[in-house]
Amino acid sequence: MVEAKGLEKRYPKALAVEGLSFRVQPGKVYALLGPNGAGKTTTLRMLATLVRPSGGEAWVAGFHILKEPLEVRRRLGLVNGGMRVYERLTGREVLEFFAGFYGLKGRAFREALDWAVGLLGLEETLDKKVLEMSTGMRQKVVIARAILHRPPVLILDEATAGLDIFARRALLDFVKAYRNLGQTVVYSTHVMAEAEEVADRVGFLHQGRLLWEGEKAEALALGEGNLERAFVKVVREGWKR
């Protein structure tokens, strides 16, 4: 569902992503792990057609990110940490507004809304203004906005940033539920414990380079049961796999 081949992003004074290649199979959660500044967000923004690569290629749901960007966007949901929604609207009004971009109106919107409400537990947010919501409630609305069109690929970029323990738990449970529906998730974080819980496969990104990737069980074995130890080991020993 997602494939990158030699993906690169160069800026005048920096190489943000270098020769990145990986694949994500349908119905799997791929965790792209690394510290702040590793190139995670740049990578995901290239996949989402928001940033043009300097080199390489990538496909999302079978569509080329440069040649078929609109088709990519139709099949993609994106959630960044810190995303905001219109505060003076209710949750229902926010979702109805964004549903229009996907052509979801009338009965189609109501069916999409019912589906998202059931998946995320949004009942208490629908008729409340965003400015009256907790951070966790707002994040649920942000996620619902991204999945109303039931995208086969969902990108979550540091989506738990700033969330309290209950909101974070709700998001991690949602990731597993969305994967169990057969959808594909690319999950970016620097919090290794989150990846230990939700990922099927992990990639270690450092200074724009993918140093190691493999099944989560392989990574845990490498780090003696801990992804953070595995990541530090790979970086310190200069692995390239």
Least confident of 28-32, 118-122, 231-235: 118-122
179 and 88 both lie in a single domain:
no
Q: What is the pLDDT of residue 241?
A: 53
114 and 131 both lie in a single domain:
yes
Q: What is the pLDDT of residue 217?
A: 96
205 and 113 both lie in a single domain:
no
Res 228 pLDDT > 80: yes
Spatial neighbors of 213 by CB under 8 A, at least 6 apart, are 22, 201, 202, 203, 204, 241
Contact 141, 122 (CB under 8 A): yes
2-17: average pLDDT: 95
238 and 181 both lie in a single domain:
yes
58 and 90 both lie in a single domain:
no
The domain of 102 spans: 83-150
63 and 106 both lie in a single domain:
no
36 and 116 both lie in a single domain:
no
24 and 46 both lie in a single domain:
yes
Domain boundary among 150, 180, 195: 150
104 and 140 both lie in a single domain:
yes
**H-state helical runs in the chain:** 40-47, 69-74, 91-99, 107-120, 135-147, 165-180, 192-198, 216-222, 227-237
177 and 224 both lie in a single domain:
yes
**What pairs with residue 213 in β-bridges?**
203
The pLDDT tens digits of the residues spanning 42-79 come to 999 999 999 999 999 999 999 999 999 999 999 999 99
Q: What is the pLDDT of residue 240?
A: 61
Domain boundary among 125, 150, 175: 150
12 and 27 both lie in a single domain:
yes
* 3 state DSSP class of 209: strand
Report the amino acid identity of residue 203: G
5-29: average pLDDT: 95
Rounded to the nearest 10°, the torsion over CA 81, 87, 93, 98 is -40
Domain boundary among 116, 150, 184: 150
Res 222 pLDDT > 70: yes
Res 132 pLDDT > 80: yes
pLDDT interval class at 239 (50, 70, 90): low
Q: What is the pLDDT of residue 164?
A: 87
Q: What is the pLDDT of residue 94?
A: 95
Angle, CA of 50, 52 and 56, to the nearest 5° = 130
CA 227/CA 234 separation, integer angstroms: 10
Report the amino acid identity of residue 236: R
CA 7/CA 50 separation, integer angstroms: 14
* 3 state DSSP class of 127: coil
CA 45/CA 186 separation, integer angstroms: 12
Q: What is the pLDDT of residue 84?
A: 84
157 and 65 both lie in a single domain:
yes
Q: Return the closest-CA partner of residue 93 out of 82, 103, 102, 85.
A: 85
21-41: average pLDDT: 95
Residue whose tokens read 């989402």: 48
133-160: average pLDDT: 93
CATH code of residue 214 = 3.40.50.300
CA 213/CA 66 separation, integer angstroms: 25
The pLDDT tens digits of the residues spanning 77-112 come to 999 877 888 999 999 999 999 999 999 999 999 999
142-150: average pLDDT: 95
The pLDDT tens digits of the residues spanning 180-196 come to 999 999 999 999 999 99
What's the structural domain count of the chain? 2
Q: What is the pLDDT of residue 167?
A: 86
